[in-house]
Each structure stands twice: as structure tokens, then as C-alpha cells.
Amino acid sequence: MEVHKFGGASVKDADGFRNVVNIIKTYRTEKAVIVLSAMGKTTNALQQVVADHYAADTDPFIALNLLKQKHYEIIDLLFENKEMILDEINEAFVEIEWMIEDAPHEDYDFEYDQIVSVGELVSTKILAHYLHTQGVNVMWLDVRDVILSDNTYREAKVDWVETQKRIVNKTTQIFGDYDVIVTQGFIAATSENFTTTLGREGSDFTASIFSYCLDVKEMSIWKDVPGILSGDPRLFDDVTKIDKMSYREAIEMTYYGAKVIHPKTIKPIQNKGIPLQIRSFIEPEGSGTWISEQKDIAYPPIIVFEHNQCLLKIATKNFSFVAEDHLSVIFSLIAKHRVKIKMMKNTAVSFIISADNVPHRIQKLVTDLSKNFNIDQQEDLELLTIRHYNKEIIERLTQDRTKLFVERIPNTIQMIVKPNPDLQLGSKA
Ligand code: ASP
Ligand code: MG
């Protein structure tokens, strides 16, 4: 058995769907679970529908109708016989219409999940129907029948034990008659059958849940890049593809902000030793990047930029040392407001953290901290991480940037830097 995951960029138009079908027909070698995201920028559009429903003066139907139109255009191009697929798509969209005709639900995150999840439901229906017209023996699976989660809307936690049972039962049953299962990434359901989502870009994680539960031979994530690159090709001319990478290295680089795969993807497949191939849906014959248990790989310097960091200098009000009791107050407030720390350091009279700048969370944290501490806050900063650094690369990347905070551990150097607006990042001039 194998698992293939395709993201929204791979199905942003009708040609995208045709290409995905070709890839499945050409590169599938065993019974396969296909995990698909919503088409193109659908999730963002649905997020807008939710926001417009909650805002007093905006009509959520405008964004929704635009999005429906996009889906209809693609269906027009893919199908001769459209009735059945249109019925199914409309049935999914009408659930949103019912919600936005009513007053907004008191829990924003709950409503968000009920609405945003429709993106994956419709994209997978289109793919499953289209695969069928192209002669593939395929079955559509509602992933909410198998992935059970808690009710932390927008960040739901998976119940692994029950999920594994359901995935094994359901897929065994379907694979008795079919070769391919098409299902949704990103979404799940609670024990009360409400829809949840697993966090933005969570479809990679869904693929990993299936891979783990089915102990598959291998998993593929099809991307618009040739594999994992040593840096962002939009910023650097001289990036190289990394052919082989260890699970550990992949976990480190996604943790520090590399967007190539979702950070939660690696751990489950590492536990089962399932190899993961990152490959290109644009040039599917390429060799991609293999992630597996490997040692003694010589990596080139790997550069990861995380934008939108906020630096907080937390100082005691009376210039006393920052002691353990202070730290315990600081950390409990950080946990309470779900602020994600990327770097931290304590000095004699202050404690410094850099965190993802989610404005409403940071503001609440600052308000609470200000009761006991003096806070100095700086925004619009970048976290630059270089794995396997050398002197030249550090010099090249920092010569024209202000370094606010630097930390070095073996193999990794991290810096909070102030971006210079006049300066191109990296080497691209
Ligand atoms: N469609 C979801 C998102 O855009 C999940 C995913 O693409 O992985 O966040
Ligand atoms: Mg996406």
C-alpha cells in the first residue's frame, strides 16, 4: 500500500486535475490512498466567507459565489456528463449557505471548521469522479468517518487509537473492491460528528496519519518544487536539491519554519520507519528528495527564513535579577496565551523571547506581563536559521542586516534580524 498527497497548487485548474490523474496512473504501483487539499486558494476564500459572515457590513455570499463559480468552470472543462458531480458539489456548498443565512454561531472557530472544510470535500469529489471517467477503479472516502479528533476547533487533536481502528477497517473493506481511495486532507470529525480541522496546511499531516495507521510501504508528497531545496528559490540563485535527508533533519528544518512540509508530518512516519518522498508534480520523473532513517549525510548549508517575528524584552521593574519565580510567571502567561516561542535567552535583568507575531495573542500577553514587568516590543523581524552553517554563508546573509539576537548550537545558528527594506534577500540582485 502507498499514500500520495497532493496540495492545493496541484489542482488549481482543470489542467492540474488532468496532471494529477496522469501521475496517479503512471506512478502508482500498489493500492493507494490519495490525500487531497482544497483547490488552489480555496481555503483562504472560505476563510473570507467566515470573516464576512461575522463582520457587520459584509455579505458572505459574494466571496462564496465567486468560489462556486471557479469550481463550476473547472467542472465544465473536465466533464462531459456533469449532472452527478454538480449535484454532489451543490450539496456540499448548500451546507455553507444554510450557515451563512443564519446568525453567526457563538463560537467562531466552530463555524470556521464547518465552513472551511467544504473546500476539501468538493475538491476530492471532483478528483474521484474525474479519475473514474479516466478508467481508474476509485472510491471516494469521507475522511470524517475515519479520523476522530477532539473538539479543539481549528487545531483538533487526533485520537490515534480509534482512528487507526477505523482506518484499517474501512480501507480493508474498500480495497477489497477498489484500487484507489481518494480522501480529504486537513479535516476530521468529533465523536458528535462535528467537523474539525487540523491546522492550516494540515493535509500533509493527514497523509502521515494514513501512512502510520496502514503501515504503508512509502508515502509521497507531490509539490511544485523538485524536492527539498537548501533555501527558498525565490530568494537565492544558488539553491541545491537535497537528494536524501534524515527524519531528524526534516523535523529540525520544518520546526524552524521551512514551509516545504507541515512540521507534524514526520514524527508518525519516523515511528514506523516509512520512507517519504518529496517529488515534483511539474516534473514527476525527477528523483525528488527521500526522507528516511539515514546517517552520515553531508548536507549543504540549509537556510530557513521565518518572517513576522516579534521580539519581547521582559525586564523586572526594579532592576532585580530575573529569577526562577519570574520565569515561572512568564512561562505560564506564554502558555496561557498560546504564544509560540522561537528563541529565548535570559540576561541579568531581562528575559528575551522571539515569537510568531499573532497580534491578538501577543497583545494579551504583553498586557498581562506589563503588570509585573517592563516590556520592550519590536515587530516585523525575521528569524534566520542556518543549519550546517559556515563562515561565508553567515557573512553573506548578515553583512547588511541588523542582528538583534544570535544563538549558536552545533549545526545550527539562529538570528533575529531586522530586514533592510532596500535590500534583496540572499544573493538575487
Ligand atoms: N487546504 C488547507 C489549507 O490550505 C489544508 C492544506 O492545504 O494542507 O490550509
Ligand atoms: Mg494548501
Report residue 7's pLDDT band, with 50, 70 and 90 as the boundaries. Answer: very high
Asked if residues 254 and 237 have their Cβ atoms less than 8 Å apart, the reply is no
pTM above 0.85, yes or no: yes
Report the SS3 class of residue 370.
helix
Determine which residue's CA is closest to atom 6 belonging to ligand 1.
Answer: 201
Cα 65 to ligand 2 centre (Å)? 20
- In tens, the pLDDT along 36-65 reads 999 999 999 999 999 999 998 999 999 999
The answer, yes or no, to whether residue 293 has pLDDT greater than 70, is: yes
Closest CA to 48 of 66, 34, 32: 66
**Tell me, what's the pLDDT at 422?**
62
Can you tell me which atom of ligand 1 is nearest the CA of 41?
A: 4
Please state the rounded mean pLDDT for residues 82-111. Answer: 97
- In tens, the pLDDT along 11-32 reads 999 999 999 999 999 999 999 9
**Tell me, what's the pLDDT at 427?**
45
Cα 123 to ligand 2 centre (Å)? 12
**C-alpha torsion angle, residues 353, 357, 358, 361 (rounded to 10):** 30
Ligand minimally distant from the alpha carbon of residue 199: 1
- In tens, the pLDDT along 213-246 reads 999 999 999 999 999 999 988 888 889 999 999 9
239: alpha, beta or left? (left if phi > 0; alpha if psi -120 to 50):
beta
Q: How does strand 2-6 pair with strand 241-242?
A: unpaired
Cα separation, 332 vs 324, in Å, equals 12
CA angle 382, 376, 360 (to 5 degrees): 70
Strands (E), 166-257: 180-184, 187-189, 195-197, 218-223, 228-229, 241-242, 244-246
Mean pLDDT of the chain: 94
Determine which residue's CA is closest to atom 8 belonging to ligand 1.
Answer: 201
Ligand minimally distant from the alpha carbon of residue 197: 1
**Tell me, what's the pLDDT at 48?**
98
Cα 255 to ligand 1 centre (Å)? 18
Q: What are phi and psi of 378, to 5 degrees?
A: -130, 135
DSSP secondary structure, 128-188, as one string: HHHHHHTT--EEEE-GGGT-BB-S-TTSPPB-HHHHHHHHHHHHHHHHTT-SEEEEESSEE
Cα 10 to ligand 2 centre (Å)? 10
- In tens, the pLDDT along 181-208 reads 999 999 999 999 999 999 999 999 999 9
Q: Say yes or no: CB of residue 7 within 6 Å of ligand 1.
A: yes
**C-alpha torsion angle, residues 42, 48, 52, 57 (rounded to 10):** -120
Cα 33 to ligand 1 centre (Å)? 18
Determine which residue's CA is closest to atom 5 belonging to ligand 1.
Answer: 201
- In tens, the pLDDT along 311-340 reads 999 999 988 888 899 999 999 999 999 899
The residues near 355 (Cβ < 8 Å, ≥ 6 apart) are 309, 310, 312, 334, 339, 340, 341, 342, 362
Helix (H) / strand (E) containing 55 = none
Asked if residues 375 and 314 have their Cβ atoms less than 8 Å apart, the reply is yes
Q: Say yes or no: CB of residue 163 within 6 Å of ligand 1.
A: no
- C-alpha to C-alpha distances, 46 to 7, 17, 65, 114, 250, nearest whole angstrom: 16, 21, 11, 10, 31
Report residue 423's pLDDT band, with 50, 70 and 90 as the boundaries. Answer: low
Cα separation, 214 vs 209, in Å, equals 9
Q: Say yes or no: CB of residue 37 within 6 Å of ligand 1.
A: yes
The answer, yes or no, to whether residue 428 has pLDDT greater than 60, is: no
Closest CA to 386 of 406, 357, 356: 406
The answer, yes or no, to whether residue 258 has pLDDT greater than 80, is: yes
What domains, with CATH codes, occur in the chain? 2-216 (3.40.1160.10), 302-419 (3.30.2130.10)
Q: Say yes or no: CB of residue 40 within 6 Å of ligand 1.
A: no
Ligand minimally distant from the alpha carbon of residue 47: 1
The answer, yes or no, to whether residue 429 has pLDDT greater than 50, is: no
